[in-house]
Each structure stands twice: as C-alpha cells, then as structure tokens.
Structure 1
Amino acid sequence: MWETAIEGAIATIASNIDRFGDSYPHVGEGSRYTRIENNDWTNGFWSGLLWLGYEYSGDERLREAARKTTASFRQRLKDNVVLDHHDIGFLYSLSAKAEWIVEGSETAKELALAAADVMMKRWRKAGGYFQAWGPEGDPVEGGRIIIDCLLNLPLLYWASEQTGNPVYKEAAKAQAEKSRRYLVRGDDSSYHTFFFDQRTGEPVGGATHQGFGNGSTWTRGQAWGIYGFALSYRYTRDPLFLETSKRMAVYFLEHLPEDGVVYWDFHLPEEQPKYRDSSASAIAAAGLVELLSHLDQKDTAFKDLRDGLQYTMEALVSKYSTNGDGTEEGLLKHGSYHVRGGLAPDDYMIWGDYFYLEALLRLERGIDGYWYERNRERD
C-alpha cells in the first residue's frame, strides 16, 4: 500500500513542476492549488516535497527543481522578504538544510545557518521565548508563543551542532520547555497559543488563533506537539519532552473519528461545521514515526501508538489521497487551513502533502525528513 501511494504521489509532484513554474503552491481552491510567490510561511513545503521525491526516485527533474527553490530562498533572505515571524525553520529546514542533508552543499549549509540567525532575532530575552508574530513590543502580538514553533526549533538545534555555538540550542530548548509547561494542559490536550507579559515574562493565559475556542483543542496544534516534542527529545535527550510527545499522541489517537482522520478541532459543538483536517493527521503520523523510533517496544503505550499510526496512514492512503486521479495537484484531500477565518476549509494543504509523503517514505524506505542531520557518509 505504501509503495503504490508513494509512486502516485511522486508522479503528481513531477507533473506539478511544469504546472507551478516559478510559483509556489499554497492551499487548495476548488481542487487546484493557489499559486503564490516566495513570501509566505508555507513555501518550504514545496521544496521539501521536491527533495523527498528526488531522494526516492533519483529523478533529475525533481533535483533541479528543488535546487531552484533553494536559490529562491537565498534571494528571499537577501531581500528580507516577509521573514519577521518565527516560521523560519519551516522555510529553511526544508529548502537549504534539505539540500545540505541530501547533497552536502556547503553554500546551502551557510544559507541555513544564516536563516537560523534570522530566527534568533525573534528571541525575547526578558521573557525567555520566541515571539511568534509581530515586532518586538507589539501591543497585540507581543508576548505570544504558538505550538507550531516546535517544528521551527530543529533549525536552531542543528545550527548549534554545525557551529559549536550553544546559544541556538539553549534558546530552542528553553522554548520547548516553556511550550511544555504552558501550551500542554493537564489532560494532555493543548492550547494553540499562550501569552506572557512582555516586560516580566509572567504567564498571562492560553488562547487560540485557528482552533474553535480558547479552551478547545485545535487538532493541527496537537499534531505539532506530537512531532515537535519528539524532535526536541532527539536533540536534547530530555525525557520530559519524550513523555510529553507520548501523552499528546495518546490523546490524539483516543479522539480519532471512526474513519481515522481528525476534524479541525477536537471539541466542536454540534452546530459547528465538521470539516476534516487531513493535514493534522498527516503531521501526527509523521510525528508518531519519530516518537516510536525513540520508545522501547516494552513501553506500555508502544503497541497502541504503532497501531494508531497504521490506522491513520491506512485511512489517509485509502480514503483521503488523490492517488489514481490523474489530474490532481494535491496529494491529500479534505485538509483545512483556518476554518473560523474562512480560509480554505476542505481542500489541499501543501504542508499536509509534505508530511504525508514524509511519513510514507519513513515507513517504506527509511528516508527521514529534513529536521535533523542523518548519520551517514556523504558521497
């Protein structure tokens, strides 16, 4: 099942090279991807898909298209195009760092390290956190952290490994610890976002931006937590991060709908639209692969987590993938971006496509994503 799904996905990606040209896919609109310039937080996922496709297939067209995106990200950094946010890791881990991991390109490595320096500008020393959005001191966005940031931290952990400078890792670990303490609730559900006093760093309270409500659980946020805390464990070996990832994964799987793919929020009132978010399930699946790689098979949760991963992936492949369509641009149907904001419910999500293929390749071929350096010799 996995191999057939991978072959279909890579055929779609290859077809999209000509369709997209120099533009980047963003979210679906009528079962076609909207095209944007390299100016959004989502652009790196197209790069990541190209690198994954090349690693699996060896298709030179995918390689050249992937390298072209790295050049685009180099220009974006030079021109400082919409980089005043914390999602630098999503952009440069899947483009420049991916090229370094796959090909050992020193220029790509230097670009990724420069991007890590840009992200460090988001560090707020007084509060001890990375501010997600807005300029320092912003009356609305100042003091905000969000759970998505956990997937941006690997760029900083990696930067410490490559440079020997502990500052990146220390900040990343502090952010992960603050996220563990304040974004994860006592019942293992999660807030999307949390605010701190900008001057003192004192906690103010949890909220949401894309979930149904402040007290609900946005499913994509829960998925970011599963994968993000597992990655922080990989880099720090702090057992609290592994335990938190495991607890969040158990919560996610215990709240799955019967067909195995989550709605956009776990706590939707009856009158709310029941849109799915296949991208949340794809992120969670990739996170489960990472989490399971660190757990002893004797762990009491291991079998349930492994079975949950299998159930989720079978559901995505058999019920939500576009495999065999022939004219599709996306890999997964029924994703949701920002339902309350009216943005792209029930369509393609480029990040969902990326994590779906990453999970498939990890399961079938042992090809990891681009969140950490792989232990292998270069050609």
Structure 2
Amino acid sequence: MPRNIYKGQTDWNLVGVHDWTSGFWPGVLWYAYEESGDSEILADAQRFTEPLRGVLDVPVDNHDLGFMLYCSFGNGLRLTGDAEYQDFLLRAADSLATLYNPKVGTILSWPAMREKMNWPHNTIIDNLINLELLFWASKNGGSQDLYAMAVKHAETCMTALVRPDYSLYHVAVFDTIDGHFIKGVTHQGYSDDSMWARGQGWGIYGYTMCYRETNDERFLEMAMKLTDKFLERLPEGGIPYWDFDDPTIPNASKDASAAAVAASGMLELSTFMDNAGLKNKYKNAAIKMLEILSTDEYLSKDKEQSFLLHSTGHHPNGTEIDASIIYADYYFIEALTRLKKINSGSNLN
C-alpha cells in the first residue's frame, strides 16, 4: 500500500497491510469510483481492499482499526452494500473494543508504549476517528455496548485531551487503578504545551463525527471550539505549519495533511449549523484551504504519484517531513467529495 513520497522521489514508498495507513489508498480508490463510476477503478478498489482482511489475523492490540478498515471496507460497504464487508467490519469493531478500559473510559493507544514511556494507559487524539467504526457497528448488528464505549471515550477525551484554550494534547496518560488523568503529552508536536496541527484537525473531524452519530450538543460545541481555535491560529498563507508553536516559523514545515483533515471535518460541521453566518464561516474557511491545496504550490499534478505535496508526519522523530503522505490525499479527496455533495444538496453519508 502507498504511504509516502520523499523529496527527490516520484513514486510511492510502500508498506504492508499492518501499517496504520494501509486503508487510505483503498479509500482513495473508493472515492474515485464513487465520482467516476469507472468499473476498472471499482475493480482496483476491491483488489486493494481485500488484503486488509489480514489485519485481523494477528493478535489484538491495534487501535487504528477504524483508519485501516473503515476507510477501506467502510467506503466499500457504503458504495456496494457487500454483506461480506459488513460482517468483516462487525468483527473489526469487536476487536477494537477489546482495547477499551472501563476504569479509564477510553480505548488504549500504542500498547507498546506503556513500558517504553511508563504510561499505564494512554489515549491519543487520533483515536477519535476510530470511534466511527464503533458507532457504525452499534447501529448495524453489533452490541450496544460499542455505542456506550464510543460515547464514553469521547466524553473522557473532552476533559483530558482538551486544554482550557481549546488547543489539544496529542496524548492523555491515565492511571489504571482508579482511572484518573495523570498528564497530557504532545508526542508528535513541538512540545507538550504546543498546538500540533494535525492533532487539532483530528479533534475537529472527530467531534463533528461524534455529534453526527449521537446528536449530543456537547460534541457539536466542542467541534466548534476546536475549529475556532484552529482558524484563529492559521498563518497568513492559509495552511498550518506542522505545529503552530514551532519557534522556527516562518521557516518551519507546513502540513497539508492537517489542512485536509480539518477542511473535511469543517465541511461536515457546516452542515450542522442552524445559523447561516456560522454555516458560511466554516464552509468558506474549508473551501479556502481546499483552494490553496489546489494551487501549484501544493497540488502535485505530474510531479509525482501523490495528489498533495508538503505534509509532515512525525517531525520530532525526523520522519516524513515535507513529504507527500497518503492520508493527506485521502482527506483531500474526501473533502472535495463532501463539498460537491453539499453544493448539490446531497447527503454527505
């Protein structure tokens, strides 16, 4: 599966199905099929989705099953109604649920980090996106416990991962004896107190989705607060730096993936606004970012195999800095598809 393209390369660097990004390429193909109706693209979407069945053949301990399997099998089910896809997704949801700790009230992230970092139980903001798999399963033949887990996870993260100014920690660390919050960490950001751009995007997208699935006004308000903070701190160029607090700004790396994730989330958020001013605020802000991502500065065109240039993966680790990354493409295409549906009056889902 494609994952990244570094400067000086033109072709994707590939990873196996157990990489957390493996579901995004099939997801891109499903969106391409949805827009084109092309039978060859459909065949490719099915062909690249099928190997991901192997994700569940290894021992549990994978908090990324939503990213990997809902972006691939989920989009496939939405577009084909394939009953085998539904059965597989129900299995995936049950697997993800095994990581839920009722004492803490969240799904465990990065099990291997417990000993390495001395984190008894940790949860990352990215995990909000994986809750969509649990919500879906609870409404399509799975246990109602999955719904309760997803809601509790989202509630817990509102108090642990969200700072008073509505910026986000990347990681919340919890005690496993009584479940109390120990500390917030920004593992992939500049510092523990900094505002990591993609994390803010995950929050915008995740809490908007949680509102869609629950109609809980607390989640809608949280999505709005996180979005307002993101827009307040956007630089003049309209695309976020990888971390809003990197002291090397304006020479820091940008993150097109953060812009794409946030834009997709903000477009859905706009559809939930009763106030016309707020609806236009969020929709137009998303459109502005998509327009910038569609310029020659960010759109690859024939430069390489990706759609988007200039994303940042794990900057503190020195990996995927100013690279093309597959999830940037996925959320860019999703956002464009959502915008088209909004403009035509179609249902986003």
TM range (shorter): over 0.9
What amino acid is aligned across from residue 18 of structure 2 in structure 1? N
Correspondence for 1:130 among 101, 107, 124:
107
Aligned to 1:357: 333
- Number of aligned positions between the proteins: 344
Deviation at 1:98, TM superposition (A): 1.6
Measure, in 2, the Cα distance between the counterparts of 1:247 and 1:373: 22
Q: Deviations over 1:84-116 (max 9, x none)?
A: 221110011011122111100000110111111
The correspondence of residues 264-275 of structure 1 with structure 2, limited to 5 A, is 264-270=242-248, 274-275=252-253
Deviation at 1:39, TM superposition (A): 1.6
What amino acid is aligned across from residue 27 of structure 1 in structure 2? N
The correspondence of residues 1-379 of structure 1 with structure 2, limited to 5 A, is 24-30=1-7, 31=9, 32-77=11-56, 79-80=57-58, 84-134=61-111, 138=115, 140-163=118-141, 165-270=143-248, 274-298=252-276, 301-322=278-299, 325-366=301-342, 374=349
Q: Which runs of 5+ in 2 are unaligned?
A: none
Asked whether the 8 Å contact 1:134–1:142 carries over to 2, the reply is no
CA 1:327/1:217 → structure 2, altered by over 3 Å: closer, same or farther? closer
CA 1:206/1:312 → structure 2, altered by over 3 Å: closer, same or farther? same
Measure, in 2, the Cα distance between the counterparts of 1:138 and 1:246: 36
Measure, in 2, the Cα distance between the counterparts of 1:336 and 1:136: 22
Asked whether the 8 Å contact 2:73–2:85 carries over to 1, the reply is yes
Measure, in 2, the Cα distance between the counterparts of 1:146 and 1:343: 19
CA 1:60/1:327 → structure 2, altered by over 3 Å: closer, same or farther? farther
Q: Deviations over 1:208-255 (max 9, x none)?
A: 110000000100000000010000001111101000101111111111
What amino acid is aligned across from residue 22 of structure 2 in structure 1? N
Q: Deviations over 1:252-291 (max 9, x none)?
A: 1111111110000011113895000000000000000111
Measure, in 2, the Cα distance between the counterparts of 1:206 and 1:361: 35
Deviation at 1:363, TM superposition (A): 0.9
* Secondary structure at 1:74 match in 2: helix
Asked whether the 8 Å contact 2:342–2:348 carries over to 1, the reply is no
Measure, in 1, the Cα distance between the counterparts of 2:205 and 2:79: 22
Give TM-score, length-normalised by structure 2.
0.93
Deviation at 1:162, TM superposition (A): 0.4
Asked whether the 8 Å contact 2:119–2:174 carries over to 1, the reply is no
Q: Deviations over 1:315-339 (max 9, x none)?
A: 111244435x325211111000011
Deviation at 1:296, TM superposition (A): 1.1
* Secondary structure at 1:84 match in 2: coil
Asked whether the 8 Å contact 1:275–1:345 carries over to 2, the reply is yes
**Identity of aligned pairs, percent?**
34
Deviation at 1:199, TM superposition (A): 1.6
Question: Aligned Cα RMSD in Å?
Answer: 2.2
CA 1:320/1:155 → structure 2, altered by over 3 Å: closer, same or farther? farther
Range that drifts further, 350-359 or 181-190 = 181-190
Q: Deviations over 1:175-217 (max 9, x none)?
A: 1011111111111111111101012101101011100000001
Measure, in 2, the Cα distance between the counterparts of 1:178 and 1:319: 41
Measure, in 2, the Cα distance between the counterparts of 1:337 and 1:237: 32
Range that drifts further, 263-272 or 277-286 = 263-272
Relative contact order higher in (CA < 8 Å, ≥ 6 apart): 1
Measure, in 1, the Cα distance between the counterparts of 2:180 and 2:297: 43
Give TM-score, length-normalised by structure 1.
0.86
What amino acid is aligned across from residue 51 of structure 1 in structure 2? W
Measure, in 1, the Cα distance between the counterparts of 2:162 and 2:113: 25
Measure, in 2, the Cα distance between the counterparts of 1:271 and 1:245: 26
Asked whether the 8 Å contact 2:293–2:299 carries over to 1, the reply is no
What amino acid is aligned across from residue 333 of structure 1 in structure 2? L
Measure, in 1, the Cα distance between the counterparts of 2:202 and 2:279: 20
What amino acid is aligned across from residue 123 of structure 2 in structure 1? I
Asked whether the 8 Å contact 1:158–1:373 carries over to 2, the reply is no
Asked whether the 8 Å contact 1:70–1:108 carries over to 2, the reply is no
Measure, in 1, the Cα distance between the counterparts of 2:22 and 2:80: 21
